[in-house]
Amino acid sequence: MKSDDRIDAGNKRAPTEAILFGIAPTGDPRTAAEVLHELQQLADTAEFLTAGCMVQHRRHADPNSYFGSGKLEELAEVVRLAHSGAVICDDSLTPNQAKTIEAAVKVPCIDRSELILQIFGMHARTPQARLQVELAALQYEMPRLRRRWTHLERQRGGIGLRGGAGEKQIDVDRNLLRTRIAAVNRELSRIAQHKVREVAARPELFTIALVGYTNAGKSSLMNRLTEAGVLAENRLFSTLDTRTRPWRLPGGRTILLTDTVGFLRKLPHQLVASFHATLEEALHADLLLVLVDASSPEAAEQLRTVDEVLEQLSAGALPRITVLNKIDMVADRAALAELWRVEPHAVPISVKTGEGEPELLATVQSHLATVENRLSILLPHTAGALHNEIRARATVLSEFFTTEGCLMEIQASPAVLGRLLATGARIAQPDDLPADEPEGPDRDG
Ligand SMILES: Nc1nc2c(ncn2[C@@H]2O[C@H](COP(=O)(O)OP(=O)(O)OP(=O)(O)O)[C@@H](O)[C@H]2O)c(=O)[nH]1
Ligand SMILES: [Mg+2]
């Protein structure tokens, strides 16, 4: 089998039945299906049918064959009895481990990295996402060329690789891969530069990035708040590119929301590197909303993974609000209480029912109040055109019309305040207040 066929999963094919396998620590009381629950979701998303799960309890994977030899024979027997078309490993395998497993089970062996690459290949929509997936797939291929050619040589009855046609072909392929990798990198950095210019040209709007484990409900929350129409579905990695949409707060202020690619435990390192640029854009945000699927039995572990990835991206210190989503589906109240103990300031919500949305809004607004400045300004009638802009970019705490213009108390970032003062507004003076209003402008809520 050519591994291109596996990575290019965009083509429709009849679902292949697969046996999932992995290792668990000695003494782990979970069933094989529980240990491999996430792998099964991934396999499902990649359109495989799970025909069975097998787990070996051991401390480390065998460096040559992943499973021990007895267990590997058992796996081969199960594959034979179930007539499975593939085996899928819960970890990333070395080319050598994959080769040994395929020789034993006699069907293609797909590892976690390859499975995730397939899913990314299926879901990539924008040119940037497609190139990022292609880059990751090319890098994944590079060390595996030898395995592919060993197969071909064996099929043709060759006598091994040394000096044979396969060896020459590996060199040719390796050069082709290198050339393509360089071209994709060039194209990606062109897109990245364009994005940097785009982000820099954005009006100084407060930006929030939605980050979190895959399937936590980031796109659903974005849709609910902005009516953005982003694809949200019960599959892993629905979103691969970064999308930014305006969120209009009550009162008319607009802040930007950025939806991002979901995180995952044991994400292939090629993909982490490729998607760095996408995430980097999001990580220029002023605030992170870290979404957690509170109904998942793995919620605490998923939150830890998110923390680790944020650390790796040097975004660990960004201000953040943790949001416990899918509260409508939480069955295990004790697990929820435990999450709360770890994240005492987390906001519980349900994007589905709308529960908790007002509290989330209030939390975001009170964060804004702590990081922005308040100022009383006078907007002279001659600068009346700025009025709508102020409403969109700043929180208007009060406003009051006088003969001079509009007297406003506003809260905004120093950049926005600076620009307003440079384009027609001025700082309000005590004598801007009408004589009968010595205490200050009326508050209108
Ligand atoms: N019951 C329930 N389901 C929800 C809630 N929020 C989201 N979902 C569902 O969870 C699934 C995943 O939602 P998405 O918004 O695609 O999740 P995501 O975090 O964007 O996922 P990726 O893009 O894959 O990283 C969808 O089927 C949603 O309908 C909620 O509050 N309650
Ligand atoms: Mg999404």
Structural domain count of the chain: 4
445 belongs to a structural domain: no
From 210, 215, 360, mutation site for ligand 1 pocket: most ligand atoms within 8 A of C-beta:
215
Q: What's the pLDDT score for residue 8?
A: 44
User: CATH code at 425?
Assistant: 3.30.70
As a whole number of angstroms, the distance between CA 228 and CA 221 comes to 10
Lowest pLDDT segment from 70-74, 76-80, 184-188, 191-195: 191-195
Locate tokens 């103990």: which residue? 341
**Are 322 and 338 contained in the same domain?**
yes
- Beta-carbon-side half-sphere exposure of residue 184 (alpha carbons within 13 Å): 20
Report whether 119 contacts 42 (CB < 8 A): yes
Q: How far is the CA of 293 from the centre of ligand 1 (A)?
A: 8
pLDDT band at 86 (very low <50, low <70, confident <90, very high): very high
Q: Mark whether 189 and 212 lie in a shared domain.
A: no
Q: Are 99 and 122 in contact (CB under 8 A)?
A: no
Q: Do the bridges between strand 320-325 and strand 254-259 make them parallel or antiparallel, or are there none, so unpaired?
A: unpaired
User: In this structure, what token pair is assigned to residue 106?
Assistant: 């006699």
Give the integer Cα–Cα distance in Å for 286 and 279. 14
Rounded Cα distance between 348 and 359, Å, is 8
Instruction: For residue 359, report the distance from its CA to the centre of ligand 2, in Å.
Output: 22
For residues 334 and 228, state if they share a domain. yes
- When mean pLDDT is compared over 82-91, 256-265, 396-405, the highest value belongs to 82-91
What is the residue whose two structure tokens read 């599959």?
A: 235
Q: Looking at the structure, do residues 28 and 101 belong to the same domain, yes or no? A: yes
The pLDDT value recorded for residue 445 is: 37
Do 26 and 87 belong together in one domain?
yes
CB-CB contact of 108 with 88 (8 Å): no
What are the angstrom distances between the C-alpha of 21 and each of 36, 43, 61, 140, 225? 7, 12, 12, 21, 40
What does the pLDDT read at residue 56?
A: 97
Same domain? For 350 and 382 the reply is no
Q: Is residue 437 part of a domain?
A: no
Looking at ligand 1, which atom is closest to the CA of residue 239?
23
Is the domain of 278 the same as that of 344? yes
Residue among 210, 332, 222 at smallest CA distance from 262: 210
Tokens of 68: 């021990």
SS3 assignment, position 325: strand
- Do 416 and 394 touch, CB atoms closer than 8 A? yes
Q: Is the CB of 376 under 6 A from ligand 1?
A: no
Report yes or no on 42 lying in a domain: yes
What's the pLDDT score for residue 155? 45
Summary mean pLDDT of the chain: 84
Count CB-CB contacts under 10 A for residue 10: 11
- CA-wise closest residue to 18 among 154, 160, 118: 118
Alpha-carbon distance 408 to 388, whole Å? 13
Residues 243-253: tens digit of each pLDDT: 788 898 988 89
Closest atom of ligand 1 to CA, residue 353? 31
Q: 433 alpha carbon to ligand 1 midpoint, in Å?
A: 51
Q: Average pLDDT of 68-85? A: 96
In this structure, the answer to whether residues 293 and 338 fall within a common structural domain is yes
Give the pLDDT confidence score for residue 167 in this predicted structure: 65
For 146-194, the pLDDT digits (tens) are 555 554 444 444 333 344 556 677 777 888 889 999 999 999 889 878 8
321, 347, 369 - which closes a domain:
369
Tell me the C-alpha distance between 98 and 87, whole Å: 10
More confident residue, 276 or 157: 276
Q: How far apart are CA 325 and CA 336, in angstroms?
A: 11
Q: How far is the CA of 275 from the centre of ligand 2 (A)?
A: 14
Cross-strand bridge partners of residue 88: 20, 110
C-beta of 262 in contact with ligand 1 (< 6 A): yes
How many angstroms does the Cα of residue 131 sit away from the middle of ligand 2?
Answer: 19
Most confident of the ranges 1-15, 199-213, 301-315 = 301-315
C-alpha dihedral sign at 95, 101, 106, 112: negative
* C-alpha 223 to ligand 2 mean position (Å): 10
State whether 194 and 222 are in the same domain: no
Reported confidence tier of residue 331, pLDDT bands at 50, 70, 90: confident
Quick check: CB of 84 below 6 Å from ligand 1? Answer: no
- Is residue 242 in contact with ligand 1, taking CB distance under 6 Å? no
Domain-terminating residue out of 88, 123, 158: 123
Is residue 171 within 8 Å of residue 120, measured between CB atoms? no
How far apart are the CA of 230 and the centre of ligand 2, in A?
Answer: 8
**pLDDT number for residue 220:** 94
- From the CA of 210, give the closest atom in ligand 1: 19
For residues 224 and 343, membership in a common domain is answered with yes
CA dist 192 and 184 (Å) reads: 12
- Ligand 1 pocket member 234 (CB < 6 A): yes
Domain membership of residue 329 (yes or no) is yes
Question: According to the model, what pLDDT value does residue 202 have?
Answer: 65
**Going edge to edge, which strands form the sheet with 243-248?**
243-248, 254-259, 207-212, 287-293, 320-325, 347-348
* Burial class of 358 by CB neighbour count within 10 A (0 to 12, 13 to 18, 19+): exposed
351 lines ligand 1 (CB under 6 A): yes
Residue 114: give the domain boundaries. 3-123
Residue 385: the pLDDT is 82
Assess whether the C-beta atom of 258 lies below 6 angstroms from ligand 1. no
What distances in angstroms separate CA 386 from CA 7, 268, 403, 419, 420, one per listed residue? 53, 49, 17, 11, 8
- CATH number of domain containing 43: 3.40.50.11060
Chosen domain end from 92, 123, 154: 123
156 occurs within a structural domain:
yes
Residue with more model confidence, 141 or 409: 409
Q: DSSP character for 385?
A: T
pTM: 0.79
Q: Does 251 fall in a domain?
A: yes
Q: Are residues 318 and 421 in the same domain?
A: no
209 lines ligand 1 (CB under 6 A): no
Q: Is residue 443 part of a domain?
A: no
Cα–ligand 2 centroid distance for 204 (angstroms): 25
Indicate whether residue 45 lines ligand 1 (CB < 6 A). Answer: no
Judged by its nearest atom, the ligand closest to the C-alpha of residue 292 is 1
Instruction: Identify whether residues 253 and 328 lie together within a single domain.
Output: yes
The residue nearest atom 29 of ligand 1, judged by CA position, is 233
The average pLDDT across 373-384 equals: 90
Tally of CB atoms within 10 A around 164? 15
State which of 42, 126, 220 you would mutate to test the pocket of ligand 1, scoring each by most atoms of that ligand within 8 A of its C-beta. 220
Among left, alpha and beta (phi > 0; psi -120 to 50; other), residue 321 is beta
Separation of CA 347 from chain center: 20
Structure-token match 């509290």, residue found? 359
Is the CB of 214 within 6 Å of ligand 1? yes
303 occurs within a structural domain: yes
pLDDT grade, residue 281 (50/70/90)?
A: low
Contact in structure between 153 and 160 (CB atoms under 8 Å): yes
Q: Quick one: DSSP state of residue 107?
A: S
Q: Rounded distance, CA 63 to CA 435, Å? A: 84
Distance 39 CA to ligand 2 centre (A): 19
